[in-house]
Amino acid sequence: MEFLLVQALSGLASAASLFLVASGLSIIFGVTRIVNFAHGAFYMLGAYVAYTLTTRFAGPLGFWGAIVAAAIIVAILGALMEMVLLRRIYQAPELFQLLATFGVTLMVQDLVVVIWGPEDLLGPRAPGFTGAISLFGRMVPTYDLFMMTLGPVVLGILWLLFHKTRWGVLVRAATQDREMVAALGVNQKWLFTGVFALGVFLAALGGALQIPRTTVTHAMDLSIIVEVFVVVVIGGLGSVFGAFVAAIIVAELNAFGILILPQISLITVFLVMAVVLVVRPWGLFGKPESAPRAAAGLTIRPWRPFTQMERAGVALVVVAVAALPFFLGNYALTVGAEILIYVLFAASLHFMMTVGGLASFGHAAYFGLGAYGAAFLVKYMGAPMEAALIVGPLLGLAGAVLFGWFCVRLSGVYFAMLTLAFAQIAWSIAFQWVDVTGGDNGLLGIWPASWASRPAGFFWLALGIAVVGVAVLRMLVFSPFGYGLRAVRDSALRSEAIGLNRQRMQWAAFIVAGTFAGLAGALFAFLKGSVFPDYMAIPTSVDGLVMVLLGGVETVSGAVVGAVLYKALAIWLMSQTDLSKLVLGGVIVVIVLAFPKGVVGFIEDLRHRWPRKGNGAGAPVGATKAEAA
Amino acid sequence: MKLQVSNLNSHYGPAHILYDVGLEIGAGEVVALLGRNGAGKSTTFRSIVGLVPQREGTVMFDGADVSRLPTYEIVRRGLGYVPEDRRIFSHLTVEENFEVGRQAPRPGVATWTPDMLYKLFPNLGEMRKRPGGQMSGGEQQMLTIGRTLMGNPSLVLLDEPSEGLAPKIVEQMADAILAMKGEGLSVVISEQNLHFAKLISDRAYIIEKGRIRFSGTIADLEANPEIRDAYLAV
């Protein structure tokens, strides 16, 4: 009994930092509608800066002064990011802002190593809270007690800030209706910057306060950001009190899950999140999302299938790519095959995002399930490659059937978060079910059939499957099913009124996308000869998102271009520099600023700015012209 | 001239909504912008305060061109806007809604305080701590007007203030608008309800399919029933 109490207290202490970071994310989202992926990076920066200040400048500042100063310094960095980067892209689709903050996250990961080195750092203990006291016969660190009280104190301060100051009232008003706040004479720009600075301050404070408890590492950011997403979603986006309650729930689940169900400890939190989202789609204390801004697919230029000429052009490109094995070496062909696999993966996600209007943060789950499906067939049934490539993706399909059924009940950010949760569940199963999946060691020896074992052979195989896959997806866009999906995406209410079943159509789209992702994953297993849990991890999902957004979410074929560009760039950078994340992140940020509609969207815009002859100059925005891209 | 709008053209995406709209509002005048549903009344107001991104034309307010300014700057110059759908901050209390609208006092213009507004709208005085979402439609209409008045405007654009309200509340609205006029404010109301507009307006414009079709006094309009029938009757 005493042991359980102490365990509960330890959970409460962890909840404090989680709450600080989550409330910051929640506040920022509430007003700016930006899911700040860089929030974990600011948390990490808070810890690093606090480490430096407490070890080097503890004299003038004192420990506590250094902690607060660290949070302020990082908050200023956050405000700068908002002013320099985000202000330029508030009009872009919401996910684009996520992409921009993801670019910043990548950069910070490398910068931290450059500045502070790769080793874990151990900060000083907090003066006055170095010991432990005996509670119920067990020792509890006094710093844990301090953290425990800090949570409610911060909650109280935030409540006062939001209810008793003019600024706080404006922030709450803007959370509901930004345009109306502007129509009452409030300059949103500075409101947004202020909110961003406050949110980042809270994240950095959460990080800085961790240094007496844990070591400072350069992997802190990703581990916290996932937990924080979970907290914010359980509590309800935009609700500070919800973040407080959910932080306690999550921290206690972590503290007790490891005791009660150690085999599935990684999953418990995500299972709870999935249950909450299905029962209360807006989180425990959230409010239904205010009217979403223009849907991602809301394009002025309607899509149309390729003309004969364009089809011939595409065929020519495919033939040219097919001829590459006669010119390229083995390494280049292996890279090429990997790019082709990602083309299919990105195209499947793009189908779901663009046509279905469903932005998934966990598409890697189906990629990984397909890979494991193929690997199981080879390992446990001795199936040949051909059979494994056909049957393996069915595991991706099955996963999409199961997870998709839950996910399509939600929309927007909550949909994205639930897909993320399911992907983490899939990852955790692969990671913890060692008997079947090999856990972290993965499954090895998944080699292709002899005819595809040479790089050229495998390249052709990958090309064939990618071309057929992309073509099928494209045909679906222009099928009655595709039209129905777009109708549902553009106006759920109206399409339901004419008899379209929104949930069932989106579920079908989810399954289609998951199956093709599974196919890509199965190919990937044979390319690498092995399968690991990381195939399903967040970075893979984010890679897919980046490819789609880079290509242009409002286009039909942007994913193909995005995948080629991004994957080629990433692989090339990896071979050229140790700071590949810094450069890649920088490139993403620049591309976001330069091409807010994606690369393909940008090219489309160019084509419309210079109308072809006979169109007459000054034709109104090409409104009546359909666009193939 | 308090407000002078000329050659206003607005678009929503590819759709052209307003065609060369022109309005002139004098200081202290109450002017009605009449038209049917979808005629372009709300778009006219939204364009004037800069809420329609795609717009051309000039908007002169107090002798300065404000057509290129962001919304909050236009409003801060004393051009108040009350939206058609009220857009109350439903999670904020009456007091807090007023606070969002509050701006510094402006020389030469009436300065409004919550207490003055509670006198103008006694219902609101009884529910200062109530969230906006838990108020009746009429109370919300009072709240949205009061919220805009807290910005101490010298001119108010009032989008369909009588829409969907009980006759008794409509009377209260008319009194409130006349009280605003009494304080020296210019008021532009958009209306489908000619009867209500007649009660309070000095002049009227009629808009149809995005074009101004008539401009004149209420008496002119009364004298020409065929205009009323052509552009207003349902």
- Percent of chain A at pLDDT > 90 equals 46
Contact yes or no for A169 and B81 at CB 8 A: no
SS3 per-residue string spanning A94-153: HHHHHHHHHHHHHHHHHHHHHHHCCCCECCCCCCCCCCEEEECCEEEEHHHHHHHHHHHH
Contact yes or no for A183 and B49 at CB 8 A: yes
Q: Does B151 touch chain A (CB under 8 A)?
A: yes
pLDDT tops 60 at residue A299: no
Q: Does A187 touch chain B (CB under 8 A)?
A: yes
Q: Does B87 touch chain A (CB under 8 A)?
A: yes
Q: How many Cα atoms within 13 Å fall on the side-chain side of residue B211?
A: 3
Phi and psi dihedrals of A405, rounded to 5? -55, -40
Q: Could you tell me which of A341, A343, A407, A420 has the C-alpha nearest to residue A98?
A: A420
Q: Does B119 touch chain A (CB under 8 A)?
A: no
- Residue B13's pLDDT band, with cuts at 50, 70 and 90, is confident
Q: What does the pLDDT read at residue A294?
A: 44
Residue-wise over A558-593: b if at least 16 C-beta within 10 A, else e? Answer: bbbbbbbbbbebbeebeeeeebbbbbbbbbbbebbe
Q: What is the pLDDT of residues A113-139, one digit of tens each?
A: 999 999 999 888 888 888 888 877 778
- Residue A263's pLDDT band, with cuts at 50, 70 and 90, is low
Instruction: Tell me the C-alpha distance between A459 and A478, whole Å.
Output: 29
Q: What does the pLDDT read at residue A1?
A: 67
Instruction: Tell me the C-alpha distance between A360 and A420, whole Å.
Output: 7
Residue numbers of A between 292 and 311 with CB closer than 8 Å to B = 300
Q: What does the pLDDT read at residue A318?
A: 92
Q: What does the pLDDT read at residue A610?
A: 59
- Residue B226's pLDDT band, with cuts at 50, 70 and 90, is confident
Confirm if A358 and A510 have CB atoms less than 8 A apart.
Answer: yes
One-letter amino acid at A332 equals: A
Contact yes or no for A169 and B92 at CB 8 A: yes
Q: Does B90 touch chain A (CB under 8 A)?
A: yes
A317 membership: H or E segment, kind and range? helix A308-322
B88 to chain A, minimum CA–CA distance in Å? 9
Task: Give the closest of B76, B83, B87 to A185, CB-based.
Answer: B76
Provide the mean pLDDT of chain A.
Answer: 86
Q: What does the pLDDT read at residue A609?
A: 65
- Helix, strand, or coil (residue A234): helix
pTM (2 d.p.): 0.84
Phi and psi dihedrals of A466, rounded to 5? -65, -45
Query: A–B: how many Cβ contacts below 8 A?
Result: 66
Dihedral sign computed on CA atoms, order A166, A168, A172, A178: positive
Contact yes or no for B71 and A182 at CB 8 A: yes
Dihedral sign computed on CA atoms, order A169, A170, A176, A180: positive
Higher pLDDT: A509 or A1? It is: A509
- Specify the CATH number of the domain A2-279: 1.10.3470
- Helix, strand, or coil (residue B159): strand
Residue in chain B nearest A175 by alpha carbon:
B89
Q: Could you tell me which of A58, A371, A46, A93 has the C-alpha nearest to residue A210?
A: A46
Q: What does the pLDDT read at residue A149?
A: 92
Instruction: Tell me the C-alpha distance between A165 and A90, whole Å.
Output: 26
Q: What is the pLDDT of residues B146-171, one digit of tens each?
A: 999 999 999 999 999 988 888 889 99
Q: What is the pLDDT of residues A52-82, one digit of tens each?
A: 999 887 777 789 999 999 999 999 999 999 9
DSSP one-letter code for A398: H
Residue ranges of alpha helices (H) inside A408-446 are 412-432, 434-437
Q: Which residues pair with B211 in a beta bridge?
A: B208
Domain boundaries, chain A: 2-279, 324-564
Q: Does B91 touch chain A (CB under 8 A)?
A: yes
- What is the average pLDDT across A31-59? 90
Distances (CA, A) of A375 to A280, A370, A387, A444, A523: 37, 9, 11, 8, 10
Q: What does the pLDDT read at residue A259?
A: 79
Q: Could you tell me which of B122, B13, B120, B4 has the C-alpha nearest to residue B63?
A: B4
- Residue A615's pLDDT band, with cuts at 50, 70 and 90, is very low
Phi and psi dihedrals of B56, rounded to 5? -130, 165
Q: What is the pLDDT of residues A371-390, one digit of tens each?
A: 999 999 999 998 899 999 99
Contact yes or no for A183 and B89 at CB 8 A: no
Q: Does A153 touch chain B (CB under 8 A)?
A: no
pLDDT tops 80 at residue A606: no
Q: Does B109 touch chain A (CB under 8 A)?
A: no
B227 CB contacts (<8 Å, ≥6 apart)? B206, B213, B214, B221
- Residue A316's pLDDT band, with cuts at 50, 70 and 90, is very high
Q: What is the pLDDT of residues A164-210, one digit of tens each?
A: 999 999 999 988 888 999 999 999 889 999 999 999 999 999 999 99
pLDDT tops 60 at residue A292: no
Strands of B98-202, DSSP E: 155-159, 186-191
Neighbours of A311 (CB within 10 A): 12
SS3 per-residue string spanning B67-88: CCCCHHHHHHCCEEEECCCCCC
**Structural domains of chain B ordered from first start:** 3-231 (3.40.50.300)
Residue in chain A nearest B92 by alpha carbon:
A173
pLDDT tops 50 at residue A556: yes
Phi and psi dihedrals of A137, rounded to 5? 80, 5
Q: Does A607 touch chain B (CB under 8 A)?
A: no
Max mean pLDDT among A39-48, A484-493, A609-618, B163-172 falls in A39-48
Contact yes or no for B99 and A179 at CB 8 A: no
Higher pLDDT: A255 or A195? It is: A195
B107 to chain A, minimum CA–CA distance in Å? 17
Q: What does the pLDDT read at residue A291?
A: 45
Tokens of A386: 């051909």
